Amino acid sequence: MALTQVANLKGGDAKDRNEPEFIEQVVANIHRRLGVPLISNTLPSLIGVECEIEFISSWLTDGLCCHTADILTVADISGIGKTSLVRFVFGLHSSKFQKSCFIEGIDARCNERLNGLLKLQKQLHGGISKKMKIRVHDVNEYSSKIQDVLACKKVFIVLDDIGSINQLDALLGNKGLHPGSKVIVTTKDASLTERCALFNPQFQPKHTKVSHNSLCNTDSLELLCVQAFKCRRPEQGYEEVSKTLVKYCHGHPLAIEVLGKFLHKQDLAYWQEFIEVLQKEHHPDIKKALKTSFDALLFQNDKELFKHIACFFVGVDRDLIETILVACGIKTKIGIKNLVEKGLLSIESDYKLVMHTLIQEIGRDLVFQESPMKPWKRSRLWCSEESFKVLKQKKGKECILGLALDTRMLDKKKSCDELKTKSFSQMDNLMLLQLNYVQLNGCFKKFPEELRWLCMHGSPLKSIPLDFPMDNLVALDMSYSHIESFDMSFSNPQPPAKRQKVQ
């Protein structure tokens, strides 16, 4: 009987199909039938995600016999480890379902290939249906075929890296899922899933959202060592450089893996010099991965908001940022919501806006690329060294929207130099200005009139100059300054005996 069953088994036809994808599907089917996960017996590739694995495993096994279908969305920035996590969980639990299918890299495959979405539909239909290959060449028609199968079978599907609602609608349809089915969606946009056609008044699957967080320092160091040294601890002599790299990555798994593999079998001097290079430019693979979240932003409004926050406002109160940037013509309500949903921004319990350090650096790099060699031609200047040079040489141009200078960031010789107010005379569009512990000389008559935000911590001014243009100003911060009054009368800056903090 067993021999008869084996003889009757049918193989798959790889004709007109992408061979690597076909092989992956064969391997996945074998593992599913054997009931064993796709787990390597060597050093673990998943480190620091035990809680996430436990949570998703519990979610998968809970309610398998109930009368509802569940969808789980894993959302965060690129490279944070979403794909690795769900692939691991899929290997653990796919055998518990009638049919299961894992589709990886959906957004990239849709954008890079002709008829990419149609090919993904074929892969999904082939993974969950017993029927032979069907001849359909239309996305909408294939959606109908897929949703008919999903409505009558308990399935486990992982849709990795969904980039648009159209992709979800094409792969899940709108007829609902069979009770007990489980669908995991990974995406950079946390709002996508509940906006797809499946969430209509007639069919409302249970929906759970999970944010895949950065690794802690201990797990980050272990992951780096696994990639760089093939063990769990730094080799002798590499302890400090390893900690420096971990600090640079700020718990971002892709960054850690890329740098660890790049530095494998390199000597200590190479590590040290490479770290110095990283202070000036990002590794291309890390930059490419992180930039995808920015590229996914639909509106120029959101992109400008992202750059403003990355350059000047990380860690600042949300209400203050909204007050300032609304006056700059930015739609902050929709913009902040979109940045949060894309994983580019998060809001702490005290309403401060924060960014992952690598994401912030990507935002600043986007501005840097506007004019790498001529900083006065960029839209924003946040580096005190560059800002000081531009002001000292009076090269400021009308293209500059924001500028930050803190003389404590300069060497002592430069920090003692005085700057002239006429250095700002050509910055007609300057709206954001931070001059911390800066000595300014001259009249303010030709100071930029478009200023919305002025931050002058440690200012030597005793009062606000009478000729200072304040018509458009919405936020003035003179904390830790020498100011004594706001009577708008001009007073020559003379440092008093004590500093006064002004809120």
Model confidence at 134, in pLDDT bands (50, 70, 90)? low
Tell me the average pLDDT across 116-141.
Answer: 82
Residue 33 has pLDDT above 60, yes or no: yes
What gap in Å lies between CA 304 and CA 366, rounded to an integer? 11
Amino acid 213: pLDDT: 78
What gap in Å lies between CA 163 and CA 82, rounded to an integer? 14
3-class DSSP state of 140? helix
Which residue matches tokens 């030709």? 446
Residue environment code for 445-481, b if the CB has 16+ CB neighbours within 10 A, otherwise e: eebbebbbbbbbbbbbbbbbbeebeeeebbeebbbbb
Tell the burial category of 194 from Cβ atoms under 10 Å away from its Cβ (0-12, 13-18, 19+).
middle
Residue 45 has pLDDT above 80, yes or no: no
Closest CA relative to residue 252, chosen from 130, 358, 139: 358
Residue 403 has pLDDT above 90, yes or no: yes
* pTM to 2 decimal places: 0.81
Tell me the average pLDDT across 371-391.
Answer: 95
- Give me 370's structure tokens: 């506007």
Amino acid 31: pLDDT: 67
Convert the pLDDT of each residue in 64-75 to its tens digit. Answer: 556 567 899 999
Which one is predicted more confidently, 497 or 312? Answer: 312
Question: Residue 429 carries which DSSP code?
Answer: T
Amino acid 206: pLDDT: 86
Model confidence at 490, in pLDDT bands (50, 70, 90)? very low
Amino acid 67: pLDDT: 57
Q: What number of residues does the chain have?
A: 503
Q: In what order do the strands lie in the sheet with 99-103?
A: 99-103, 155-162, 182-187, 70-75, 206-211
Tell me the average pLDDT across 390-419.
Answer: 86
DSSP string, 230-265: SSSSPPTT-HHHHHHHHHHHTT-HHHHHHHHHHTTT
- Give me 157's structure tokens: 């599907």
Model confidence at 496, in pLDDT bands (50, 70, 90)? very low
Which one is predicted more confidently, 213 or 502? Answer: 213
Which one is predicted more confidently, 389 or 13? Answer: 389
Residue 115 has pLDDT above 80, yes or no: yes
What gap in Å lies between CA 81 and CA 213, rounded to an integer? 9
What gap in Å lies between CA 223 and CA 44, rounded to an integer? 9
Name the pairing type of β-strands 353-354 and 346-347: antiparallel
